[in-house]
Amino acid sequence: MQIREENHGDTLVTIVEGHLDSATAGEFETHLLGRIEEGRRAFVVDCADLDYINSAGLKAFLIAGKKLEPIGGRIVLCALATNVQMVFELTGFDNLFTIKASRAEALASFS
Amino acid sequence: MRASLAFRLILLVGAPAVTLFLLVVILSSIRSREHVMAETEVSSLNLARYHAQRLETVLDRASVVAEMIATEMEISPKRNEEILNRYLGGVVASKDFIYGSCIAFEPFTFDPGKELVAPYFYWKDGRPEFVQLGNPEYNYPRWDWYRLPKQADRPLWSEPYFDEGGGETIMITYSVPFRKDGAFGGIATIDIAMSELTSEVEEIRVGKRGYAFVISQQGRFLAFPEKSQIMKRSLQEFDMALAQRMTAGQEGFVHARGPLRMESVWTAFAPIRAGNLSLAIVYPADEIMAGAFRLQRELLLLGGVGLLALCGAIIVIVRSISRPISQLAQAAQRVAGGDLDLEISHQTRTAEVRHLTDAFRKMTSDLKRRIEELRSATAARERIEGELQAARKIQMSILPRDIPVEAERREIRMHAHIQPAREVGGDFYDAHAVDEDSLAFWIGDVSGKGVPAALYMAVTTTLVKSHTAGHRSPAAVLSTVNRELCANRTTGMFVTLFYGLLNCRTGALVYCNAGHYAPFVVSRDGARRRLAGRGGMALGANVNARYNNHEVPLQPGEMVFCFTDGVTEALDARRAFYDEARLEEVLGKCAALDPAEVTRCVLDDLRAFTGSVEQADDITVLALRYCGTKANAAGNSPEADSERTAEIAPG
């Protein structure tokens, strides 16, 4: 699992590659929480290269989301693969997080 | 022993110290002996010079008289023999320290008519006595005392001789030539008796057995402690080298062979120029050396004692330093052997040893403490493991192995199996009879594994169970449980849950799926479908989540199969997923079997798939077959009748 970042003004685009499972979700969670601690509020998570996610990965998103909500922050996901989309739909987290098809749309949703 | 600190220190410190000490002692003893010898040399040489000088003075005084006479003959010749004799007699009479004097004229020079003129006066019986030596019998010109100085044309001392007068007196003659009218005129002589001189020398005593002697210009003894040797023996017979040096008129201090006792001696000698004599003072070597060697011996003895003291001191000091160290070393060995309670109590003044002891004590006590901590940590860990085992038992006991007694029904057969990834897990299931007709059942999966998931799981399943009786609508149950889970919860934990309510009379199944995998419905003939319809979001994620029910009628013989993602997301060695497709296929194969066998079938296939890969997530399966009542049992397979017995499938 690799994490890359790009800045678009106030929005932090985080690119996740590989698997988000029990082994790697912890690292991802620590990373997101760290950015929130630094003061970032607007997140776009680009899942174009995310191959797999399970409940551990979902947990990371959930914790980050719960931390952002009281301080007016937001996470928008984009470019989800079909199987990843299914997991979000299955657990109903597609209603919890905004999911866009492309990064451009995701960025646009912040302005 | 060789390598011990004490031994090595003593050796390393002692060897150079002892060597240096010995070196200093030996060198200084040698130097002191040499010093004594040098002192002896100086003082004995001075003594020899002193005595030689005394003799020389006497002889000089006498020789001056001869010079005087010769000069008188040259500047004031006597007219006749009577005047001549009177003159000479007067000289001799006035000088009692000479034995005799003679003036011998060259033939025909005093009186052309007379060939031999040689008046001679000598002391006899206290009066000067006259003898005319100019007679043909004596014929003085042929004698050495006349001839040699005439030839040499200078004054000469004769070799000492015995007086012809019959006495045992040793005489020596000094002959001085004089000139007349530019040519050789004659010889003036002085005879000196040497007895007084020699007796003075013979009385010289040095040390215990030291003595002195005088030799003539030919080396014959003139004065000697053993009187029989006088004039008979010469020094050359005893020590040639010494004789050569002494007759050559040298002075010195040499080692020689003593002429008196033929022993090893040291001799200080000095010349007596008047008379061409030489005087020697003799010291027996052992007497001289005795003093020097005694000093040297004393020094060596002192040195030896000092050396012993030095060695003793070194040993004592080294021991006193090394003993605490060797004690510490022994103690260290005992501690290393396991005796951690050893007390190190000895005191020492050496700072480094004290530091070492302190450090050692501290290390030992630290070690003891660490061992204690480790022991208690290990004990604690074993306790936790024991408690985890107990927790697993408790958790497993929460989950019904068998269908709960109150849910026991003729119309259904149910079997469930759970296999946690660790000692305790996050999957759960349960079944509960709501009323006479209805059976509530659910399967759930807490996000995560281990103790946190287990706790969350216990809470959730208890909540669900508590609300089961109160609500007929699965959606309502889940909605309530969700609100309660979300209250006061800021963790990211959530739980997916499938909750179903089966009317055992009619076969109507109402269900609400909160984020869980849609269960399969499998009919006896192998046909499979999924229980579609999302009931709502996973529980515990959002307090405002909404839930809704779905309904489906079950035909008798149809089986509901529920599972968690531990099944579908199991990995094999090539990291491929087990996947729903494969699960579906297995279900199709064992569709007609008993729920107990169905679950076993699925689990076996799963195990075959994963092989030796370690289980990553909790695995849970639940199979529930609606058998139908007697009333709608038509269409059941013959096995349905045997199932009518309320057999409970063991879990």
Strand order in the sheet with B221-223: B221-223, B211-215, B277-284, B264-272, B252-257
Residues of A in contact with B541 (CB under 8 A): 62, 91-93, 96
Nearest residue on chain A to B514, alpha-carbon basis: A91
Question: Which of B448, B493, B541 lies at the smallest CB-CB distance from A93?
Answer: B541
**Distance between CA atoms of residues B265 and B289, nearest Å:** 10
* ipTM of this complex prediction, to 2 decimal places: 0.80
> Cα distance from B405 to chain A (closest Cα, Å)?
32
pLDDT of residue B553: 92
Residues of B in contact with A93 (CB under 8 A): 515, 537-538, 541
Q: How confident is the model over B535-594, as pLDDT tens digits?
A: 899 998 888 899 999 999 999 889 999 999 888 888 888 888 888 889 999 998 888 888
Q: Which two tokens stand for residue B152?
A: 């040499």
Candidates B186, B197, B196; CA nearest to B111 is: B186
Residue B32 Ramachandran class (φ > 0 left, ψ -120 to 50 alpha, else beta): alpha
Q: Give the total residue count for chain B.
A: 651
> Cα distance from A55 to chain B (closest Cα, Å)?
5
pLDDT of residue B645: 37
CA distances (Å), origin B238, targets B235, B242, B477: 5, 9, 149
Q: Which two tokens stand for residue B454?
A: 């287990």
CA distances (Å), origin B429, targets A58, B162, B444, B597, B647: 22, 160, 6, 18, 20
Least confident of A55-69, B374-388, B627-641: B627-641
Q: How confident is the model over B408-464, as pLDDT tens digits?
A: 567 788 888 888 776 666 888 988 888 888 889 999 988 876 777 788 888 888 889
pLDDT of residue B519: 94
Nearest residue on chain A to B486, alpha-carbon basis: A66
Pairing of strands B520-522, B559-563: antiparallel
Candidates B41, B522, B516; CA nearest to B251 is: B41
pLDDT of residue B409: 67
Residues of B in contact with A95 (CB under 8 A): 537, 542, 545
Q: Which two tokens stand for residue B331?
A: 């103690």
Nearest residue on chain A to B491, alpha-carbon basis: A63
Nearest residue on chain A to B537, alpha-carbon basis: A92
CB contact under 8 A, A90 and B496: yes
Question: Which of A54, A89, A95 lies at the smallest CB-CB distance from B569?
Answer: A54
Q: Is B532 exposed, middle or buried (0-12, 13-18, 19+ CB in 10 A)?
A: exposed
Question: Which of A22, A89, A96 lies at the smallest CB-CB distance from B449?
Answer: A22
Identify the contact set of chain B against chain A, taking CB-CB distances under 8 A.
445, 447-449, 490-494, 496, 514-517, 534, 536-538, 541-542, 545, 565, 569, 616-617
pTM score, whole prediction: 0.51
Q: Are B171 and B163 in contact (CB under 8 A)?
A: yes
Nearest residue on chain A to B565, alpha-carbon basis: A54
Strands (E), A54-108: 74-78, 98-100
Identify the contact set of chain A against chain B, taking CB-CB distances under 8 A.
21-22, 29, 54-56, 58-64, 66, 89-93, 95-96
CB contact under 8 A, B541 and A54: no
Q: How confident is the model over A32-71, as pLDDT tens digits?
A: 999 999 999 999 999 999 998 888 888 899 989 888 888 9
pLDDT of residue B522: 92
Find the helix packing angle between B81-94 and B5-75, rounded to 10°: 150
Residues of A in contact with B490 (CB under 8 A): 66
CA atoms within 13 A on the CB side of B209: 15
**Distance between CA atoms of residues A94 and A86, nearest Å:** 9
CB contact under 8 A, B538 and A59: no
**Distance between CA atoms of residues B100 and A99, nearest Å:** 164
CB atoms within 10 A of CB B90: 12
DSSP three-state, residue B244: helix
**Distance between CA atoms of residues B623 and B139, nearest Å:** 179
Q: How confident is the model over B329-373, as pLDDT tens digits?
A: 888 888 888 777 777 666 777 788 788 888 888 888 888 899 889
Give every CB contact of residue B136 below 8 A, 6+ residues apart in sequence.
Answer: B116
pLDDT of residue B638: 46
3-state percent helix, strand, coil for chain B, nearest multiple of 5: 45, 25, 35
Q: Which residue carries 């089986």 as its tokens?
A: B559
Q: How confident is the model over B291-336, as pLDDT tens digits?
A: 777 887 888 888 889 888 988 888 888 888 788 788 888 888 888 8
